Amino acid sequence: MASPSASSKVSLKLLIDTKEKRVLLAEASKEFVDFLFNLLRLPVGTVTRLLTKKGMVGCLGKLYESIENLSDNYLNIPPQDKNILLKPSTPFASGYLLLANDDNINSSGTSNLYMCSKRCSYVVTSADNTACPSCQRHMNHTVQFVGNDRNATQVIGASGGEGGFVKGVVTYTVMDDLEVQPMSTISTVALISKLNVKDIASLQERVVELGMEEGIKLLKASLQCKNVLTSVFLKNMAV
């Protein structure tokens, strides 16, 4: 199964309780479950940048802004600079993660490597524009990566070339609080009963799409509440 690109959209079938105005569960494909699992691999710096400083809950936004505003005179460089913290390399191929349009990830899913224009000692870095430890020039000349990136290929090849974390032959149930389990008719009926649905006639199926915008909203909601699917998809939907 081909992986979705960062600009693609993933379909999701929601089971909605229109009377209570809540999403009971979602019928999800491999792509959506891979997306959810990949959220756990995002560096905190990437999460902060994706949600923007003002969108962050707590103090991480202020911490991020402090690093942005801190003069280089106070940083312990060379060889590292702010991008190590502000734009950390995402540890997974962008094709499997809608949010990972990171500057340090190339189309093959491996981290880009950079050196300065003088190629001082052939020192390389994964953070673009890092100050060279020898000449202080920006290390922004891309170096071709040859061979396998263990971090990028370990999960990609784990399921016989299919990629991602879960198998594509299975449909998955994703609850409003993002609990994930393989779908079956019996388990779905049991879940509906457990969720205390008072009027079966009020249940309705809706197909929605998850793209970059919805992905960021879902990431933010997952850090703020336990009714994530309801928060992201029902807010502007007439039910």
Q: pLDDT per residue over 187-238, tens digit each?
A: 788 888 888 888 889 999 999 999 888 999 999 999 999 999 999 999 877 6
The confidence score (pLDDT) of residue 25 equals: 95
Residue 146: what pLDDT? 66
Question: Crossing angle of helices 212-222/44-51, nearest 10°?
Answer: 120
How confident is the model at residue 153, as a pLDDT?
A: 41
Verdict on whether the full-model pTM lies above 0.75: no
Low pLDDT (below 70) residues in the chain: 1-7, 54, 77-81, 89-111, 145-162, 238-239
Determine the Cα–Cα distance for residues 3 and 70; give it in Å rounded to an integer: 39
- Look at residue 24 in the predicted model and tell me its pLDDT: 95
Is the separation of the CB atoms in 113 and 124 below 8 Å? yes
pLDDT at 33: 93
Work out the angle between the directed axes of helices 60-69 and 44-51 (0-180°, nearest 10): 90
Give the number of other CB atoms < 10 A from CB of residue 36. Answer: 20
Closest CA to 114 of 124, 123, 106, 122: 124
Task: Using DSSP bridges, classify how beta strands 203-210 and 10-17 pair: parallel, antiparallel or unpaired.
Answer: antiparallel
Give the residues across from 22 on adjacent strands: 17
